[in-house]
Structure 1
Amino acid sequence: MNKLLRSPLALAIALANTSLATQAWAQSEQPQTEKPKAVLEEIVVTATKRETNLMDTPIAITVMTEEVLTRQGLSNVKDIDKLVPNMDITIDSSQSAPVISMRGVRSTNITELGDPAVGLHLDGIYSPRPQGAMALMFDVSRVEAQRGPQGTLFGRNSTVGNVNIITQRPQVDEFEASLGIELGNFNHRQMRGMVNIPVSDTFALRGSFMVEERDSYLNGYYDPNQWDIRYLPEDVQNAPLYTGSEEDKNLVQRARWWEGGADGVQEVVKADESDFYNNSDQYAFRLAAQWEPTADFSWHLAYEHFQDDSAGSTDTIDCDKAALRVRTDDEGNYLDAQGNPSATPVPGSNGCSRIYGPGADSYTVNVSVPGMQDLTIQNVRSNLQWDFTDSMAFVYNAGWAKQTRTQMSDQDRGITDWDMSIFFRDATFVSHSHELQLQSTDNGPLQWVTGLFFFEENNDMQGGWMNSMASADYWNQSDRTLASKAAFAQGTYSITDKLHLTLGYRYTEDTKEDIGGHNMACNDSNPNLLEPELNDGRCFPSWDRTAYNNLPTDYFWNKDIYTVSTDNDIKGEWDYNNYRLGLDYDLSDNTMIFAYVANGTKSGGIGDVVVQYEQDPQTTEYPLDENGDRIVKQRHENTYDPEEVITYEAGIKSDLFDNSLRLSVSAFFSDYKDMQVATAKPLFVTYSWERDPETGEQTDEISADPFTVFQTDNIGKAEIKGLEIEFDWAITNNDRLNGYVSYLDTEIVSDFVQQWTYATVDLFEISYDESVNPENTQLTTNLKGNELPSSPRYSLNLNYSHTFDFDSGATLLPWVNVSWKDKAYFSIFNTDKHEDLYATDTPDAFSDTREAVTNVNLGIKYTAPGDNWSLEAFCNNATDETEFYWGGSGDGVIKGPVSMPRFYGVRANYHF
């Protein structure tokens, strides 16, 4: 431990000495006649479950006010990562969920089975589903992003940090109201408002809302040539034949093997931007009440409703990486960019044009399944505090949340012949939590808080995956539950007036269970229970496009047509301990240093149960027992253990130059154990009759097909080192500069041997079956020495503003924000570290490297005398950078959600 803490402590002490010397110099050099300098306002945080001064709290915390969020155009948690050191947020479009990483640690399982690595709390109440971070943030007092393990006080899954959104509470002292309107390009419209009503001297009500609509910023098309066209409007299904040249014809998208003949190839149709993927159509409102009958008692009760009716998000193609790909024909001969024979490898000039046609870019996407999303999140939150003695208070925080999601999205986007989509049908997640606290309220040497925590979540997951040519899968998980209970205590004792000791402990018990859950299948071997006349008694009309598109659009949403593949009855139980040991010392009235060791734990989990049956590889038949049932060869149950992050951290916080400069520095080392990694994993091989790739007809050949499932495993150990410097400087009464500089170094330090699962077909130039064959030892790789994903080595954020004061009392505030993140990796595979394994001539075309990116936001705000109204012009992503948030490979291209292009507009606010 001494070795681990030596460097951070030395840095902290050196910075402290520099801080004291700087203060002494500044005070001695300051002229006596100089007018008072700007002073930063005190910031109050609740990171220790008590209200404390930010600069007196021995934790690394970034605080964002609503003014900052609005100025930067940040409307939900997924957008704040550029303002928080060593925080990185990507998006999983298939689940409409953010993947939040902090200090190198994240969770890649964002299904109902997974847990986040960064806790999300609303007014101190735990929010379990990652989609909750997509909800609109409005009428907030502040957002606190705490870094480092927060397990002792915030508990569940605050492994490396926690985000707490604190909303504005009703005020009993005055009536106030406000209304804001924002207009921008892409037909953007946003409105937000608030009204605070004092009903009496002890009771107040507050209502607030936010509405946002925006067209898609993608160049979207509907494609009637893909396999599944059931959801497309009639005019798209009957689009005219393609009339362009053969050279320009998209061979992947517009000339598939099932097309041709009298029908020909149809034109794609431009989609309406207002209801295409990556649009915005959402609203939220909150009703809150505050009751303070005495000075010793307060009760805050709030109901919040969020609704997202957009088309959801989708992935697009990284054209630059796709352009690096060298084309070959079926025999492996090189082709040039136009598809003609070539003696040498020739990378293409525009990777997207090969897939979507001339003029395509990274914002182009062709789909046959229009996006649809109906996401509802409801919350009831209650915060009660009773100071029942002069030295103690009772606090009861309770919350209820319900999330319901119906969603449909295209998953292949015309990149491959395989037409795939995903859907969720009224997937419902209901949770409730209760936390009871006792805490000290006096000014004695010991400040403490202790409590009990109870949480329960009931999930009803209904959804499925469509492989439109051959099969459909349905997830019928109607009773997946999570129960968690914990007891905790934490206290800070003042050993002297300047030296303070903090001890914290939490004991947690988690239980996860699936009762009666099933994975279900629908293919040509299952009977159709509904309309057998449509497909000759088969559940699924495999390889019959006409019969498939005669099915109703909701045909596969009915679980009654499926047969049960697996019974997912499974249960897991875990208990674990969290601790914190810390010291902080006041070097002066304005400077403190701190150091601590603490751990954070992400809960263990369960996965789907997979049953492997005996099968004859010569006939593909399944032998039956004496009862007529298939004989079970093996039952694959997936449970995994908790992961743990132990962090050693030291830091300094100082107010300099007469409280005009606020400086916070933290250095940390984290030992990351039992890492949870979710991947698609081949378990065993099944056998089936092959089909002719030209006609889809069944042949006399038998193929070995891998059975692949998405599951989470504990895979090893990593080490993480980092440095974070945050500052806020009121240079003058009119000039403000703030931001951060951060450093992060991550490395897998244990052997992590597994089968390669990233862009395998393309990098190794093998077939899909070979790529997921669990017996293919060619793909066994040790990832020791790799870096963790979403972990840029360096990052920087700078915000500068200058206020022009007019004699009338009006102000003009131009501002600029610049953020930069170093390159990082999309996945854990770090493809550039393993180039000796690959068969392809162009591994860079399939790289999982995420390039460095610079983002510039700027604006100018006019505020009228008396602060009654303001008008602001803004431009986000002023340099029009294109950034991808996720990486994946499909038919040789890198894909993922793409950042919004240059976005500009005006916003007006009026305060009553």
Structure 2
Amino acid sequence: MNVHVPQSGKRMLSPIQIAILALVAGTNVASAQVAPAAEQAAAADSGKITEVYVTATKRTTSLQKTPVAVTALNAAALDDNHVQTIQDVVNLVPGFSATGQGDHGVITMTMRGIGNDSAKTEYADPEVATFVDGIYSPRPEGATALLFDLEAIEVLRGPQGTLWGRNSTVGAVNMQTVKPEIGSSAGNFELGYGNYARLGARGAVNIPINDTMAMRVAVVHEQHDGYVDYQAPNIPTLAQQHAAADPVIAAWNAAHPGNPIGFQALNPNLYVRNGQKYSAQDQSAARLSFLWNVVPGLKWNIAYEHYMDRGTPSANLLQVARPGQDFWSALIDTAPNVNRDANSVRSRVDYEINKDISLAYIAGYSRFNGSSTYDQDGGANPATSFTTSTTGGGGFQANNTVWSKYKNYSHELEIQSTGKRDVDWLLGLYYANEDNGIRFDIPIMNGTEQGTVSWQGSFIQPKETVDSKAVFGQTTWNASDALHLTLGARYTSDKRTNEGGTNNSFSDSNVPQVPLNPSVNPLAPSSGFTTYQRNDGEFKDHKLTGLARVSYDIDKSNMVFASVSTGYKSGGLQDGGRPYGSESLTNFEVGSKSTFLGGALRVNNAAYYEKFKGFQFSAPVTNPDGSRGLATNNAEGAKVWGLETEIAAKITPIDRVQFTAAYTNATLKKLIGGSNDYQLPVCPIKEIATCLDVTGNDMPHSPKFSAQVMYQHSFALESGTLIPRISAHYETASWLSVFNLGDGDRQKAYTRTDLGLRFDSNSKWYFDAFVRNAEDAKIKTSALNANGPWQAQYLPPRTFGINVGKTF
């Protein structure tokens, strides 16, 4: 996507990084070129909305001339809305939502009522695909996590499998990084401060090398304290502890005479009171990009990016706080930790073969390593003794990623027509490979980690691979200047393997009753663990998907379009090496794009109906024999239909309004689902211990109606421009799971308001003050009641701060 905005690309550096870049850039920084003030003032006074260009069709076209439901957010829009994560993007796009997943610390996406909350490990792929510079990103790290030094974000709604490929069943998000510019020495930096001890720094500098080469260095660091305070434990008296523990001790010793236990007083030091809190941020990234115009018509863009995360996961909070406790607090017995690193290389070579044909070779490689510790129980059941809790079950549960590693690479070759032609065409070849591995431990202890084992398991997948090949093509017949007919198709072949995967549970009651930790090898004979399931297997799948579209330009300012498109997501392997089937989606859509009042008003609409088959529902389950695992079942699918609108208007040259709205109706077809995150009845299906028939239920994260409105006004001052801004998001109630289990499993209707005040000086420095979630609304993104009381993940509370920066 190319978006021409005079203020695009404002990003920042930390003081140390600024110094390093200054040394690298040398005196070139001082010779930065900026647009004349008169030219910028003319742009600001224009009564027209800035024209936006997108690459939704793999060609650079005007947004208003592109017959696709796509939202384009340029760098200025990202800055204005303080966009730092995908969750910040969703309010700006109709029919889009994102869900926080605590134990893995990732964000999963839902679009037009369809998503997969389990798309956070190697077991499940998303329905909404993420791309960086056109390269598929299977893991939400790097630019997809921090959104730094971006030229634009392009959100495409509806199946995008023909041109965009893997796992874009219901949509795709493409992020375009800022590229080096030959002959330019421009740059920018920004420093930020806010509540929860927020500190931010980001920046970028463009460095000319010679007449054919340039480089760009961009860095970012964001940190803030955790939102969740630590509660002090309420330790019962010794008499109360004995009353609770003695019967349990007696029963245990009678059943296990060779491994008796004795009374222990509750140890208050087992509860975390200090250190980094849950829901803290500590993320950094750097990107080094090069552009080389090899010869006329041949250019090469290549970038290396490093990302590191030392923050903490989001906590499971009680939806109704215990008396005397703050809502944003939890009784924690597992300290939070995240340690993740990702390295990525992205490359694109463009070659203009002649004036009619161009060739592009796009390649990417990334490697991710990480570990984390997480308090899954969130203190829902306070201990009544060292081995009992308020519900009588397991009171201590940790979800620990001991290690995880993901490696993927892809190659794509595209050849297409260029220039204005009667027939536009594009052909492509694609290959991608993933090699994933993980060890994930779940120790569950009765009462506290001092107590006896309730259940604990270790899931070890040393090698799980994905091999995907595709050939695709698309052609558009420009029957006249107004009428355009498009046909496209993609054939995909997928192969998945699991080599050496095992599920292991603690089965020896005669060994010490201690929580599983990374120093224990569950595969060792003396560990007390038994392998109850082996996951080796191979799965192959293939699918032909396609697109048929007609668009008509009523005049130069109005166009309409209609399309039928199909999407596909491969099946795969689950625990035990059992296969599950693929998903497919057929989308029928009509839309319009209009510009009125000489370019001051832009209105884009879309209506769609989707037939979704084979919905892959993944969840942690308990098997009838008491063992646990992750199960994936194919629902019949879902029926989804909806309406979307996007309106942008310059009421006057200094007053701007943006409005987006979506109506979504998404209901499940036949599905019997199980999940350990919820208290469910005994299951009639022998493969799962507990489950619920959810046929006809609403799909999760799909409010019937949602809307966003933004208004800003520009005040021209002698020293610069002052712009106050208000943005409000409203949505009706929505379910948080397919089970639709009542108020605890539901986010009620809410309004969230963000406020901003920006000053741009004539001397190229600026400050930007902001308040986010001004109402301090408690907005749930996921929920569970497996521990008894209802708990949930939440969007951040009210935050505020200021950023100060300069462009040069």
Compute the TM-score of the two structures, normalised by the length of structure 1. 0.76
Distance across 1 between alignment mates of 2:141 and 2:684: 34
Q: Secondary structure at the match of 1:760?
A: coil
What is the aligned partner in structure 2 of residue 505 from structure 1?
Answer: 489
- Deviating more after overlay: 640-649 vs 411-420: 411-420
CA distance change for structure 1 residues 718 and 261 in 2, over 3 Å: closer, same or farther?
A: closer
What is the aligned partner in structure 1 of residue 336 from structure 2?
Answer: 371
CA contact (8 A) 2:87 2:97 kept: no
Residue number among 702, 711, 716 corresponding to 1:791 in the alignment: 702
Residue number among 535, 541, 546 corresponding to 2:512 in the alignment: 541
Q: Secondary structure at the match of 1:80?
A: helix
Q: Counterpart amino acid of 1:746?
A: A
Unaligned residue ranges in structure 2 (runs of 5+): 1-43, 250-260, 382-388, 446-451
What is the aligned partner in structure 1 of residue 801 from structure 2?
Answer: 905
Shift of 1:37: 5.9
CA contact (8 A) 1:667 1:723 kept: yes
Counting only pairs closer than 5 Å after superposition, residues 646-795 of structure 1 correspond to structure 2 as 646-685=586-625, 706-748=626-668, 750-753=669-672, 759-760=678-679, 771=682, 782-795=693-706
Distance across 1 between alignment mates of 2:518 and 2:293: 52
The answer to whether the aligner puts 1:458 opposite 2:369 as a matched pair is no
Shift of 1:760: 2.8
Distance across 1 between alignment mates of 2:337 and 2:561: 50
Q: Counterpart amino acid of 1:729?
A: A
Q: Counterpart amino acid of 1:791?
A: S
Shift of 1:65: 2.0
The answer to whether the aligner puts 1:853 opposite 2:750 as a matched pair is yes
Residue number among 754, 775, 779 corresponding to 1:879 in the alignment: 775
Counting only pairs closer than 5 Å after superposition, residues 588-607 of structure 1 correspond to structure 2 as 588-607=555-574
Q: Secondary structure at the match of 1:78?
A: helix
Residue number among 479, 482, 485 corresponding to 2:463 in the alignment: 479
What is the aligned partner in structure 1 of residue 759 from structure 2?
Answer: 862
Distance across 2 between alignment mates of 1:196 and 1:220: 45
CA distance change for structure 1 residues 753 and 473 in 2, over 3 Å: closer, same or farther?
A: closer
CA contact (8 A) 2:377 2:787 kept: no
Distance across 2 between alignment mates of 1:104 and 1:806: 45
Q: Counterpart amino acid of 1:498?
A: A
Q: Secondary structure at the match of 2:162?
A: helix
Distance across 2 between alignment mates of 1:292 and 1:728: 37
Shift of 1:264: 5.9
CA distance change for structure 1 residues 377 and 82 in 2, over 3 Å: closer, same or farther?
A: same
Shift of 1:728: 1.1
Counting only pairs closer than 5 Å after superposition, residues 140-179 of structure 1 correspond to structure 2 as 140-179=150-189
Shift of 1:36: 8.7
Counting only pairs closer than 5 Å after superposition, residues 490-569 of structure 1 correspond to structure 2 as 490-524=474-508, 540-542=511-513, 548=514, 554-556=518-520, 560=524, 561=527, 562-569=529-536
Q: Secondary structure at the match of 2:89?
A: helix
Higher fraction of strand: 2
What is the aligned partner in structure 2 of residue 82 from structure 1?
Answer: 91
Q: Secondary structure at the match of 1:49?
A: coil
Shift of 1:522: 3.4
Shift of 1:575: 0.3
Shift of 1:890: 2.9
The answer to whether the aligner puts 1:818 opposite 2:728 as a matched pair is yes
Distance across 2 between alignment mates of 1:159 and 1:509: 15
CA contact (8 A) 2:229 2:277 kept: no
State the identity as a percent. 29
Q: Counterpart amino acid of 1:312?
A: P
Shift of 1:601: 0.8
What is the aligned partner in structure 1 of residue 48 from structure 2?
Answer: 39
CA distance change for structure 1 residues 269 and 755 in 2, over 3 Å: closer, same or farther?
A: closer
Counting only pairs closer than 5 Å after superposition, residues 52-451 of structure 1 correspond to structure 2 as 52-110=61-119, 111-130=121-140, 135-221=145-231, 263=265, 266=268, 271-272=273-274, 275-319=276-320, 352-353=321-322, 358-416=323-381, 417=389, 418=394, 419-451=396-428
CA contact (8 A) 2:753 2:775 kept: yes
CA contact (8 A) 2:493 2:543 kept: yes
Distance across 2 between alignment mates of 1:269 and 1:710: 29
Q: Counterpart amino acid of 2:138?
A: P
CA contact (8 A) 1:642 1:674 kept: yes
Q: C-alpha deviations, 1:222-263, integer Å up to 9, x for none? A: 75x8xxxxxxxxxxxxxxx779999xx9x99x9997899883
Shift of 1:173: 2.8
Distance across 1 between alignment mates of 2:370 and 2:688: 41
CA contact (8 A) 1:607 1:638 kept: yes
Distance across 2 between alignment mates of 1:465 and 1:244: 30
Q: Secondary structure at the match of 2:76?
A: helix
Q: Counterpart amino acid of 1:656?
A: F
What is the aligned partner in structure 2 of residue 585 from structure 1?
Answer: 552
Distance across 2 between alignment mates of 1:115 and 1:415: 31
Q: Over alpha carbons, which structure has the higher Rg?
A: 1
What is the aligned partner in structure 2 of residue 16 from structure 1?
Answer: none
- Deviating more after overlay: 581-590 vs 368-377: 368-377
Count of aligned positions: 730
Q: C-alpha deviations, 1:632-688, integer Å up to 9, x for none? A: xxxxx4211111111000000011100111110000000111111113445433xxx
CA contact (8 A) 1:78 1:133 kept: no
CA contact (8 A) 2:132 2:143 kept: no
- Deviating more after overlay: 110-119 vs 777-786: 777-786
CA distance change for structure 1 residues 58 and 426 in 2, over 3 Å: closer, same or farther?
A: same
CA contact (8 A) 2:228 2:278 kept: yes
Q: Counterpart amino acid of 1:739?
A: F
CA contact (8 A) 1:242 1:265 kept: no
CA distance change for structure 1 residues 516 and 37 in 2, over 3 Å: closer, same or farther?
A: closer
What is the aligned partner in structure 1 of residue 34 from structure 2?
Answer: none
RMSD over aligned CA atoms reads 2.8
CA contact (8 A) 2:142 2:306 kept: no
Q: Counterpart amino acid of 2:55?
A: T
What is the aligned partner in structure 1 of residue 36 from structure 2?
Answer: none
Distance across 2 between alignment mates of 1:557 and 1:305: 31
Q: Counterpart amino acid of 1:445?
A: D
Distance across 2 between alignment mates of 1:207 and 1:77: 23
Distance across 1 between alignment mates of 2:685 and 2:141: 33
Shift of 1:270: 7.1
Distance across 2 between alignment mates of 1:164 and 1:507: 22
CA distance change for structure 1 residues 781 and 63 in 2, over 3 Å: closer, same or farther?
A: same
Distance across 2 between alignment mates of 1:314 and 1:255: 33
CA contact (8 A) 2:623 2:629 kept: yes
Distance across 1 between alignment mates of 2:456 and 2:100: 25
Unaligned residue ranges in structure 1 (runs of 5+): 1-34, 226-240, 320-351, 526-537, 543-547, 610-636, 686-705, 765-770, 833-843
Compute the TM-score of the two structures, normalised by the length of structure 2. 0.86
Q: Secondary structure at the match of 1:129?
A: coil
Q: Secondary structure at the match of 2:97?
A: strand
Distance across 1 between alignment mates of 2:621 and 2:457: 17
Q: Secondary structure at the match of 2:599?
A: coil
CA contact (8 A) 1:667 1:724 kept: yes
CA contact (8 A) 1:756 1:781 kept: no
Distance across 1 between alignment mates of 2:366 and 2:689: 47
CA distance change for structure 1 residues 265 and 541 in 2, over 3 Å: closer, same or farther?
A: closer
Shift of 1:299: 0.6
Distance across 2 between alignment mates of 1:38 and 1:455: 46
